[in-house]
Amino acid sequence: MKLNLRFLYLLPLLAVLFTNPAFNAFFFGKADQAGLGLRYEYALTALALLAAVRYYEYFQPVVRVWLGVLLASMAGLGLESYALWHSWAKYPHVFSKLTALLPLFGMYAVYRRLPPPPYRQLAGLMLVTLLLSLVVVYPEALSLGSFLETERGFSVTSAYLLLPVALLCLNFYICSNNLVYGLACLLCVALIVFLQHRTVWVCTTLALVIDLGLLALRVPRARAWGTRLAVLGALGLGLGLASGLAVVLDNPDVVQKLAKSISDIEHPTTQGTGTFRMQQYEAYLPLVRERPIAGWRLQGFEVPVQFYSDDSGKQVWPDFTGHHFHSLYLDRLFYFGGLGVLLVLLVPVLLLGRCLLSFAPLDEGPAALLAFVATFPVFGLSYDWPNYAYGFIGMLLAITSKPAPAVAERRPARRTLPKTKPVAALESPVFQCADLLAAHPPLVGAAPWRTARWLGFSLRF
């Protein structure tokens, strides 16, 4: 019996995904009052650093330089902390902005050394876990009341994980014409729409456009992708009508809610939470301009919160709790300046951007994940990147840096007949009938076929 152990290649990525509440709420609880999630992140960071040291020889030169710059930045921040406060890590919140990158290098190291994970098992495991989390831990997020009142329950970083599952299932359906994957894709898209995270809506639209472009141009197995996509769209429309979607859309409150959400996307700086983010940008922009190169670093944690409520005129958050930036770019610009933004984005944009714009063939799994990672800069406009984002970037950097295996053309096997000598080369023995009959006289009364057998062959009449 053969035991397939390829599922073990999933464990590093699952360890990173476990930092998200959708995965760890089963064990840590919704609120995580014991702080187990933070301790787990510390342990994961240590393991990632050990993996990077262990497989450092497999690193590309540019990634080696990137890791060296990150470690030098952390050392410099520790020296600054000791010089100003006589403590090597005065404010761990600021240090976490740098240590969040270490799982990226750990994932890169592991998947540079090991084969990529099985993508079908990855999609299935993620989908089952997210559905169980919604049904068991966050059932309130699936009610119509939460949809109308925008009480999401399911966090944006958890809902964002539905996107790679949808892309993987879409690619599997188009490449294998298996409707089970198509139905799974439709389910993920429906949940993304229902959970009402508008940033995830925008990222989903962008990812689908990129993914379909990759399928059409670079995935050899995506034959008849247009026809299969049309079939999937018709199937989704039919299932929606059969499941009572028309009845739900007949509710004016639902229609108004969807229209308002779309309007908020069309006017991101004047409506919805976009107004909140715009006000936060305006409040902190003077401080960013004051130190544009290296930012405020540890001193930024002591800067009073600059964001005040329009209704009460009080600070939105108390001091010394962090500034709660709702943007990756504003967060890094405030704490580490332009250098901090380059430290996070420069190498992934160069390497993955070059992979995205090339015309080399891709498998359906990496194509889906590449489309997903391509939406991270857009997601960073509204939120800081979750921990698993760095894991996906590290894994994809490792996978795309390996040379693609040559796909040999498969031909039907032919039956090979044993080689025979030419007829002319066969020497037929000459038998003298008289001598042969004298050596083997026929039996009296024997049947003709029996006599023939004595001659060395059998005849049946």
pLDDT digit string (tens) for 204-218?
Answer: 999 999 999 999 999
Angle between helices 225-242 and 179-195 (to 10 degrees): 60
Length of the chain: 461
| CA 42 to each of CA 46, 103, 335: distance values in angstroms, whole numbers, following the listed order | 6, 10, 21
| CA 378 to each of CA 119, 170, 195, 368, 381: distance values in angstroms, whole numbers, following the listed order | 24, 22, 19, 17, 5
Block residue for tokens 């380059």 = 342
Q: In 3D, which of 335, 348, 404, 416 has the Cα closest to residue 73?
A: 335
**Contact between residue 211 and residue 170 where contact means Cβ atoms under 8 Å apart:** yes
Which phi-psi region, left, alpha or beta, contains residue 150 (left: φ > 0; alpha: ψ -120 to 50)? left
Under the banding of pLDDT at 50, 70 and 90, the label for residue 381 is very high
Residue of higher predicted confidence among 1 and 93: 93
**Contact between residue 74 and residue 67 where contact means Cβ atoms under 8 Å apart:** no
**Contact between residue 87 and residue 81 where contact means Cβ atoms under 8 Å apart:** yes
Block residue for tokens 């199937």 = 235
- The DSSP output letter for 178 is -
Residue of higher predicted confidence among 307 and 52: 52
Least confident piece of the model among 154-168, 186-200, 265-279, 348-362: 265-279
**Contact between residue 343 and residue 105 where contact means Cβ atoms under 8 Å apart:** no
For the segment 50-75, the average pLDDT, to the nearest whole number, is 95
DSSP H stretches of helix in 219-314: 225-242, 245-249, 252-266, 273-290, 299-302
- At residue 3, the pLDDT reads 52
Residue 453 has pLDDT above 50, yes or no: no
Within 10 angstroms of residue 164's Cβ, the number of other Cβ atoms is 23
Cβ neighbours for 365, distance < 8 A, ≥ 6 positions apart: 116, 119, 168, 171
| Segment of 92-96, 227-231, 342-346 carrying the highest mean pLDDT | 342-346
| CA 49 to each of CA 36, 55, 70, 107, 276: distance values in angstroms, whole numbers, following the listed order | 20, 10, 12, 10, 37
pLDDT digits (tens, 9 = 90+) for 105-136: 999 999 999 999 999 999 999 999 999 999 99
**Contact between residue 97 and residue 384 where contact means Cβ atoms under 8 Å apart:** no
Distance CA 20, CA 386 (A): 8
pLDDT digits (tens, 9 = 90+) for 386-442: 999 999 999 999 999 886 554 433 344 455 445 554 544 444 454 444 554 455 555
Output the six-digit token pair for 172: 């599997």
At residue 18, φ and ψ (nearest 5 deg) are -70, -10
Distance CA 227, CA 379 (A): 31
Block residue for tokens 């699952």 = 14
SS3 108: helix
- At residue 365, the pLDDT reads 94
Residue of higher predicted confidence among 335 and 34: 335
Sequence ranges of the domains in the chain: 6-401, 432-461
Distance CA 104, CA 85 (A): 30
**Contact between residue 326 and residue 314 where contact means Cβ atoms under 8 Å apart:** no
**CB under 8 Å, gap of 24 or more: what pairs does 317-322 form?**
322/93
At residue 242, φ and ψ (nearest 5 deg) are -70, -25
On the 0-12 / 13-18 / 19+ scale of CB atoms within 10 A, 291 is middle
Sign of CA dihedral 328, 331, 333, 339: negative
Model pTM score: 0.84
List b or e across 144-160, with b for residues whose CB sees 16 or more CB atoms inside 10 angstroms: eebbeeeebbbbbbbbb
